[in-house]
Amino acid sequence: MSSIVQIIAEINKINPKFKQLLALNQKQTADAIGVSSSALERWRKEKGVGPEYKKVNNGKRGRILYTKQAIAEWLSDSIKTA
């Protein structure tokens, strides 16, 4: 079983830029968990599927961000149930 810290370390290895970020955008998150960006967007709309996210600003110009902590927790839960 992987710990959250280990999973975050693995996320940071995917792209050198990730190490300096606290949160990833939709494309970066999709790359980190190995799915398409559109799959991640579809999961958001299904509510309760995929990692927890935050929407920054409202409207069409709002950004969706996923903290590395939330991604790691979701991955850890996914590993446990697999």
Query: What is the per-residue pLDDT across 31-63, written as a single tens digit (0 to 9) for each?
Result: 999 999 999 999 988 877 899 999 998 777 788
Residue-range domain boundaries for the chain: 4-81
Supply the pTM of this predicted model: 0.85
What's the CA gap between 78 and 62, in Å, rounded?
28
Superfamily of domain 4-81, CATH level 4: Putative excisionased domain DUF1233 (1.10.1660.60)
**pLDDT tens per residue, range 8-31:** 999 999 999 999 999 999 999 999
